[in-house]
Chains A and B, each alone.
Chain A
Amino acid sequence: KAGVTQTPRYLIKTRGQQVTLSCSPISGHRSVSWYQQTPGQGLQFLFEYFSETQRNKGNFPGRFSGRQFSNSRSEMNVSTLELGDSALYLCASRTDISGRNTQYFGPGTRLTVL
């Protein structure tokens, strides 16, 4: 079974631009979560989608948004990019939103904001 895939793997943008990242979960997984990883803040939860609905959201500004499609693929959008948005963005999928199942991560998208 293929793992979680994320595209693109690397991205360079300038301040003020917007960016869209994509995540395809493991086949059969209906929940997709997004995490931001930075050297200073570590790994922080952004949001989780299940059945095309945002179920939970972390403490990030409204510039960070996402959506999920009927095939469970998810996209994350960051508008009006700031230097501090430079990070590794990780996507994780799990079968559903039951507490007992495990999240599996993709390789991440490295976003650099200049």
Chain B
Amino acid sequence: AQTVTQSQPEMSVQEAETVTLSCTYDTSESDYYLFWYKQPPSRQMILVIRQEAYKQQNATENRFSVNFQKAAKSFSLKISDSQLGDAAMYFCAYRGSGGSNYKLTFGKGTLLTVNP
């Protein structure tokens, strides 16, 4: 079974600084998809960024970028120029492309605090 591990339960960053959230996963599949979701106190789960495993290029969305290391099964999220609105719980998630493609497997989350 696939597992997703987020080793940092909590992180903090100063406004305008850069922070990196870690995520590792375990899978025997060669093709899969990885996601970072953000869940602010309002509880709405919002997609931040996604990465297809077959793509070597790291995904980028404005201030958010990932460092995808397929061999190491690592998928970290970098937030540049952090803003107060970035404060939230961040979840790393995995979805396979084969028989397990129906569900997302989530990590336990990292609570990010942004200090003014």
A residues within 8 Å of B by Cβ? 33, 35, 42-43, 45, 48, 55-56, 58, 88, 90, 92, 97-100, 102-108, 110
**Which of B31, B45, B102 is within 8 Å of A55, CB to CB?**
B102
Contact A105 B45, beta carbon cutoff 8 Å: yes
Cβ contacts A to B, 8 pairs, < 8 Å: A45-B102, A48-B102, A48-B103, A56-B102, A56-B103, A98-B101, A107-B43, A110-B43
Whole-angstrom distance between the alpha carbons of A102 and B106 in the complex? 14
B44 with A42: CB separation less than 8 A? no
- Give the Cβ gap from A49 to chain B, nearest Cβ, in Å: 10
User: Is B91's beta carbon under 8 Å from chain A?
Assistant: yes
CB of B43 within 8 A of CB of A102, answer no
Size category of the B interface is 20 to 34
Interface residues in B47-74 (C-beta closer than 8 Å to A): 47, 50, 52
Cβ contacts under 8 Å, A33 to chain B: 102-104
- In the complex the two chains form, is B96's CB within 8 Å of A99's CB? yes
B103 and A100 form a contact (CB under 8 A): no
A105–B52 Cα gap in the complex (Å)?
20
6 closest residue pairs by CB, A with B? A99-B101, A105-B45, A99-B97, A45-B103, A56-B102, A43-B106
Q: Does B78 belong to the interface (CB within 8 Å)?
A: no
* A109: min CB distance to chain B, Å: 10
In the complex, are the beta carbons of A42 and B103 less than 8 A apart? no
B37 — which chain A residues lie within 8 A by C-beta? 105
